[in-house]
Every structure is written in structure tokens, then in C-alpha cells.
Amino acid sequence: MVPFFLQLALILLCSVFAFIVMMRKHRKYWPNRGIPSPTPQLISGNFGSLYGDYPSMFQLRDWTRQYGKQYGVQYGWRNALVISDPAMVHELLVTKFEYFHARNLSPIFGNLDTNKWISMFLARGGRWKRLRTIANPAFSVANLKKCMCLIDDSVKNAINFLEKARNKVEAFNIHRYFVEMSFDVIARVALGQRESRQFETEMAHLAIESTQKYNNTPFDYIGFAFPWFGIHFLEPFISWSGVLRKDPLFILKKQLIDELTARKKQRESGEQQQQRAQVDFIDLFLETEQNEQQQQQTEQCQNEGEAMLSKTALQRVEKRCTLEEITTQLLLFLLAGFDTSANTLSLVCHALALHAEVQAKVQEEIDSVCFDEDPTYEQLSQLKYTEAVVKETLRLLPIATNVLNRTCCQTTTLGDITVEKGTAVVCDILSLHHDKTVWGEDADEFRPERWLEAGGHQLPPFYAFGGGPRICIGMRFAMIEEKLALIRMLRKYSIVQTADTEKELTFSGQSVITPKSVTVGLKLRDEERHGTFE
């Protein structure tokens, strides 16, 4: 009889051997299909190179230069095809959306169909369609017009803080002011914060920490290396321990739950919120809260539509939210709504400081179009050159490209490549936006005029806000905020380059890249005109 400990040792040895054989076979997945690939590590694949201090947007660009417009990488056990060919990107996001309606997400989010704490950004299939449909009215033109006065008030307060900074020093990091302003905007519009509270709350800093950590933690590393463990063990542990670990995301989440609970009690007791002239996103979403029977019906549809988007199933579902979904929707708007706008405005200011001739054209357009003290929605829509400057900035540095990925829900093809179910597809938008065969020989140059020269002709593919049915729902909201900020700033100041202004910006973050510092000066336009500024 073989001793028990020898049997156990033999079983462990065979298990380790089988695991190594499986991993070695897995590493050859892309080479066996004739698709180039950077060499993956045994367990983590290429995950170590795609996350960490170096933004994955730049790592993908580096690999595209080395391997071409289609190559393979591995997120632990998950195979991912990286593409920057415009036809394949369009096919992925638009033409074959029903095959690629799910995002490529970390396993630590758990089961996307049964986890109660899933937002529109994370959801797939019927659940995504339901949440997207519910959220659409919040970003309608009619509602955006109602929001403009709140946005503009926060912008005016930000200008006051900029004036104080300008009076103290010649040059300063303007990014921190846009962070406070953008968070203030979304807190007022989405959460019903009554007054501007810039530099008065720690919530903005918690939100920054949350976005910086998204898909960039040891939990994500372990989850991709061991997906089953990530889904079934890490997800509940992270949810349970979030507040104990002082995770900024869970602290924000708890504050949102408290606000929602209080607001819900107000509504149930029949209290009318007449004090608040503005209807915020909390009000809009609480109108859609489900009862228990509706929730069971929704869960049934999500199971039916797990693999493919089922139109029949979607038609049967009453478009309502659970309280958990409302919380995560608000958290999504809070995080996505401030970080991208703050970063975009910072990059635009940096570009204008380096290109004074472009800034002069923007100021001329603002002076001629926005003649009212308070700009109107219609006037904002006429700022074509200003919008071109924002788009050109995001073309050169698309700050949120790491979220432009999908998971194949049913085996199909992209171009002439077979993509198996469960395979991720990642778009290298930075390379596409700099592709000289697409944008011309001046693709690397900052030239906003390219957006106006097209006339009635179709512009090259631009994916700074995503693409297809999952395009950024807050795109128009963001553009309103950014235009109002530029109007208020450039009416009063010119943004100037100083000795401390960075020639090349450095970035941190993964899902959204954030400039570490954007140092500029502000010169009063009256001083500029009269030559009194030295």
C-alpha cells in the first residue's frame, strides 16, 4: 500500500505538471493561428505590461508599431486580439455589435448578469440595453438645457479660483482646478448638491483615487491570472471588505447609498422637494425603481439575453431599475463625468498655450458668437472652431481608449480573423488616430482646421467618445461643460506658456489617463491689449 502522503504528493505533482502543460499550450494560442504576439509570461500573460505605472494606451501603441495593426495579447487566461485597422474597428463596434455587446472586464466584477451592483458601463446584453434606455432621458437636449445654469455657475466659481491663483503666482497647475470644477458640476447635476463646493470636500480626491485604481490593482492581477477564483471569491471579498480597507470607491458608494436612502424616504413620506428647483439624476432614476415582481421579470430576461441581444426578450422587460443599479449608475456618472472632462480641459489649455494662433481664433469665435453675458445652448452649438479644437486635442490624445474593448459573445470573424467566444478584442485608438494612411501626412500635428475642411465629406474614424451603440452617453453633456469653461476663461484671459510649462505631458492611470501636471499662466486680455503685462 502506497503511503497517503506519497499519494498526495503524486497528485500534487501531476496537477502542477498538468497546469504547466496547459499554460504552455495557452501561451502558443496566437502563434498557432499565425498572429504575431508579444511573449506572454507563464501565468499572467501580458498583464504585467498592460497595467502598472505605464499607461496601457502607450504600451499598445508601442506594440502596434512592432507587430502591426492586428496582434494578440493575453490577460492571464483570457486571449485578446488588438486591432487598429479602421474597417475592423467599425466592424467590431457597429456592424457586428450583436456579437460584441459585452466589454472586456476584470473577473473581479463577478457574474455580470446576476451581480446586483452592475452599472450600464459594466452590463451586457439585455441588462445593458435596459439601463441605457433608462439613462437616455437624463442626457436629452431638453434636460441638458435645464442643466446649463448649474454648469455655468460652477464654471464661474472656478474662474474666481483661477483668478486667485493668477494673482499669487505666474504659473500653476491648472488641472487641479478643472478637477474641482468638473466634480462640482456632476455633484450638482447628478446628486442634487445645492451650491458650489469647490475645494471644500474630499469627495473629488476620493473619486480621483477610484478612477486611478480601476483595472489597476493586485486584485485585477490575481483575477485575470485565476478567473474562476476572481469571479467566485475575490468579487464577494472585495465587496465585503471595501469600506474596511478604506477603498475610495466603496466610501463613495456608501455615501451615495445614504443619499439615495434619505431621498427615497422623503418621497415615500410624501414630502415634496419644492426647495430644489432643479430635478437631478437621483429623482429621474428613483422614478424607475422596480418592485419585487418587476425585478424577477428583469432577471429572467437577463438570463435569456446573456449570449446575444434578444429583441423579443427586451420588449418583455419593463424598463425599470433596482436600487442597487441606481446606486451604481450614479457612481458611474460621478466618476466618468468629472475625470474625463477635467482631463480634456487641461489638455486643451496646454494645446492653446503652445499654439497661440489657434487660441486667437478660438477667442475671436467666442467674441463674435457668444455676445450674451450668459451663453445659450444655441450659441454653444455655433462654436464650430472651438469644438474642432477639443476634438483635435482628443484625436491626438484620446484619454479614455482603454475602455474601448469588447468580449466576443458568439464565435464570428473580424476581417479574415476568426474570433472565438470569450476572446477579448481591444482597440488601439491612439495608433488609429495617428495613422497617416487615414488622417494624412500631418496626422501627428495639432491642426484643428482639419475638422472644418471636410465640409460635407465623411471624416476619418474618430473614437475619443467610443463608437457604435455603446458610444459615451454623456458626450453632449461633456461638450457643453467644456465649451462653457473655455468661453468664461478665454473671454477674460489668454492662456500663456511659461518657463515651467511642460513641452511633453506625463500621464498616469489606465482606463482614463490623467496628466500629472499641466502648468500654464493666465494673462488678462485687457492687459494684453494695452501692453501692460510684463
Is residue 19 included in any domain, yes or no?
A: no
Average model confidence (pLDDT) across the chain: 86
267 pLDDT more than 60: yes
* Overall average pLDDT of the 244-266 stretch: 82
pLDDT band at 382 (very low <50, low <70, confident <90, very high): very high
| 307 pLDDT tier (thresholds 50, 70, 90) | very low
pLDDT band at 406 (very low <50, low <70, confident <90, very high): very high
pLDDT of residue 313: 45
CB of 440 closer than 8 Å to CB of 448 = no
Whether 61 is covered by a domain: the verdict is: yes
Residue 472 in marked binding region: yes
User: Would residue 453 count as lying in a domain?
Assistant: yes
Measured on CA atoms in the order 528, 531, 533, 534, is the torsion positive or negative? positive
Model confidence at 309, pLDDT cuts 50, 70, 90, reads low
Mean pLDDT of 21-44: 84
- 463 vs 461: CA distance, rounded Å: 7
Segment (H or E) for 524: strand 519-524
Eight-state DSSP code of residue 289: B
* Residue 401: per-residue pLDDT: 82
> 21 in a domain, yes or no?
no
Tell me, rounded to whole angstroms, the distance of Cα 349 from its chain centroid.
Answer: 20
Whole-structure pTM over 0.85, yes or no?
yes
Whether the per-residue pLDDT at 68 is higher than 80: the answer is yes
Residue 466: closest CA among 404, 533, 381: 404
For residue 299, pLDDT over 60 is answered with: no
Q: Give dist(CA 392, CA 517) in Å, integer.
A: 20
| Order of all β-strands in the sheet with 493-496 | 172-173, 519-524, 493-496
Instruction: Tell me if 53 is assigned to some domain.
Output: yes
Which residue would you say has higher pLDDT here, 522 or 238? 522
Provide the pLDDT for residue 530: 46
State how far the Cα of 137 lies from the Cα of 143, in Å rounded to an integer. Answer: 7
- AA identity, residue 303: N
Residue 302 pLDDT exceeds 80 = no
| Number of independent structural domains in the chain | 1
Coarse DSSP helix, strand, coil percentages of the chain, rounded to the nearest 5 percent: 55, 10, 35
Most confident of 234-243, 293-302, 465-474, 480-489: 480-489
At residue 315, the pLDDT reads 47
Q: Which domain holds residue 261?
A: 48-530
Question: Residue 71 burial (CB < 10 Å; 0-12/13-18/19+)?
Answer: buried
What pLDDT score does 297 carry? 52
> Which one of 31-40, 110-119, 354-363 scores highest in mean pLDDT?
354-363
Is the model's pLDDT at 22 over the cut of 80? no
Question: Among the listed ranges 174-183, 233-242, 252-261, 345-354, which one has the minimum average pLDDT value?
Answer: 233-242
Q: What is the pLDDT of residue 531?
A: 47
pLDDT given at position 1? 56
Q: Distance between CA 520 and CA 353 in Å, rounded?
A: 7
The terminus-to-terminus CA distance of the chain in angstroms comes to 94
Position 341 in a domain = yes
pLDDT in tens, 449-497: 999 986 645 678 899 999 999 999 999 999 999 999 999 999 999 999 9
When comparing pLDDT for 272 and 5, which is higher? 5
On whether residue 285 sits in a domain, the answer given is: yes
Q: Which of 278-292, 364-378, 458-472 has the lowest mean pLDDT?
A: 278-292
Report yes or no on 16 lying in a domain: no
Q: What is the CATH number of the domain that holds 57?
A: 1.10.630.10
Q: 238 or 432: which carries more pLDDT confidence?
A: 432
Residues 6+ apart with CB under 8 A from 276: 192, 194
pLDDT in tens, 134-187: 999 999 999 999 999 999 999 999 999 999 999 999 999 999 999 999 999 999
Contact residues for 35 (Cβ-Cβ < 8 A; gap 6+): 70, 71, 72, 81, 417
